[in-house]
Amino acid sequence: MTELIWLTDALARELLLFAAAGLLIGGVDDLAVDLIFFARRGWKQIRVNWPGRRAHVGTLTLPDVAPHIAIFVGAWDEAGVIGKMVKHARRRWGDADYRLYIGVYPNDYATLWELHADFALDPKVRIVHGDRNGPTSKSEALNRCYAAMLEEEARGGPVASIVAIHDAEDQVHRDELTVFSALVGRFDIVQLPVLPLSGASWVSRHYADEFGESHTKTLLVRELVGAGVPLAGTGCALSRAALDEMARLHGGSPFDEGSVTEDYELGLRMGDLGARAAFVRMLVRPEDRKHRNEDNFVAVRAHFPATFGEAVRQKARWIDGIAFAGWDRLGWAGGPAEAWMRLRDRRAPLAALVLTAGYAGALMGLLATLLRLAAGEPAIMLWRPDALGIALTLLLGWRVGMRVLFVSRIYGAKEGLWSMPRLVVANFVLIASSWRALRRYLSPHPPQWDKTAHVFPATLPAE
């Protein structure tokens, strides 16, 4: 019994010490981002790139001639959502000057039927067929949309000066094209917030927690420090000149078909070339400043995976493309600010390792305590009131407070408070998806479109 107690004590101490060091480094890193965000009022660059604290849709200056906007959507196995999404977009955007290009596959009969039944003759919709059976990759579908746009322009169709990207399950915003028309040109890239719709499960709601913080704070800080702004793959718009330049540099196809996170890479590669990016969190009306909630921002909304397995599949693809393959494909180009942000992007596997050590250390500590009590010995303390213990406690309290604050600003105080226990769900999703991502990265097979099942919102705001 004595040897077993000693072994469990030693394992608990070593695991918790490793976890404490990792949590301390990560906590200081997050604290730096928070401090920059709260100091942004005096940051010089913010006056250049941000429309202003009092900006709303009505303050935007539109060009004299409305630009034609091409909107690309990749659709593999999307029969359950694509028709609803297109109908919703057609209602929301009305007669604005745009055209939807939807990349489909010859072996995806259900999606083909859904689109051709309702939109084959719609002048605002172009169904872009391919020769290859799906799934290929989202990049391949987007490249076909790009080629179809060029083909139509060569035949005398309207020339798009802006290209936007959406997903097949998106709930679009009625003022989105207005924001793109006003700001693309001033910027090469405009990214709108992506706000996950709150689902019934904690798994789906943890996406709202993470995006609520990331798309309120982190992307803005990237812009502030001069780092590239990665695209979210939806709710983003690119200037035609910048996209054509990417196509010229990559053999005529702007989207890299070898990447599983083509949106993330495209934003950073364009940043490396000097493209100007803006993350725009735009209020709809001036009175929305006093009563902020998720409906008051020009943003994209969508349901995210509701089950643990689906969330792990999705996040494994993100971690593989950003943390593992992203290191290989993008390297560490740029200055110190860019290197810092890329390091933050790629820390997910290390964070998963630290969290695994922390949970394992806590379990070993609990086991050691039970063994000591069974042997009539005094229990050990897992937390000690030393400098490290106090620092970790303060950083954890700050981290949880920031999550509650930013989630509450968008989804309300109730959801903000519930985000605290959902941190545990997020941690376990991260741990499982990091191991799956490592297996994907080490696999000899080429990447495929490992997409998750999508649903479209059952209820929509007034059109």
3-state secondary structure at position 296: helix
CATH topology of domain 1-463: Spore Coat Polysaccharide Biosynthesis Protein SpsA; Chain A (3.90.550)
- Give me the pLDDT at residue 448, please: 65
pLDDT value for 15: 94
Q: Is pLDDT above 60 for 207?
A: yes
Per-residue tokens: 167: 């997903």
With a cut of 60, say whether residue 461 has pLDDT above it: no
Question: What is the pLDDT, as a whole number, of residue 287?
Answer: 67
Q: What is the pTM of this model?
A: 0.90
Which residue pairs, CB below 8 angstroms and at least 24 apart, start in 60-67?
A: 60/178, 60/179, 60/182, 60/183, 61/182, 62/178, 62/181, 62/182, 63/181, 63/182, 63/185, 66/96, 66/97, 66/181, 67/97, 67/160, 67/161, 67/162, 67/181, 67/184, 67/185
Domain boundaries, the chain: 1-463
- pLDDT band, residue 294 (cuts 50/70/90): low
Looking at residue 284, what is its pLDDT? 86
String of DSSP letters for 267-289: HHHHHHTT--EEE---BSSGGGG
CA 47 – CA 25 distance, rounded (Å) = 31
pLDDT tens per residue across span 305-356: 999 999 999 999 999 999 999 888 999 988 899 999 999 999 999 999 999 9
* Model pLDDT, residue 291: 57
Structure confidence at residue 124 (pLDDT)? 97
pLDDT band at 139 (very low <50, low <70, confident <90, very high): very high
Q: What is the pLDDT of residue 462?
A: 47
Alpha helices, DSSP H only, in 375-412? 387-411
Helix, strand and coil in the chain, % to nearest 5 = 55, 10, 35
Residue 277 has pLDDT above 70, yes or no: yes
Give the pLDDT band (50/70/90) at residue 50: very low
- Interval 172-181 mean pLDDT: 95
Q: Residue 296's pLDDT is what?
A: 79
Q: What integer pLDDT is reported at residue 53 of this predicted model? A: 54
**Residue 349 to residue 323: CA distance in whole angstroms:** 7
Give mean pLDDT, residues 50-70. Answer: 81
pLDDT of residue 47: 39
DSSP 8-state class, residue 121: T
∠ CA 209-348-330, rounded to 5°: 115
pLDDT tens readout for residues 228-241: 899 998 999 999 99
Quick: pLDDT tens for 377-398: 776 666 667 888 899 999 999 9
Q: Give residue 51's pLDDT.
A: 47
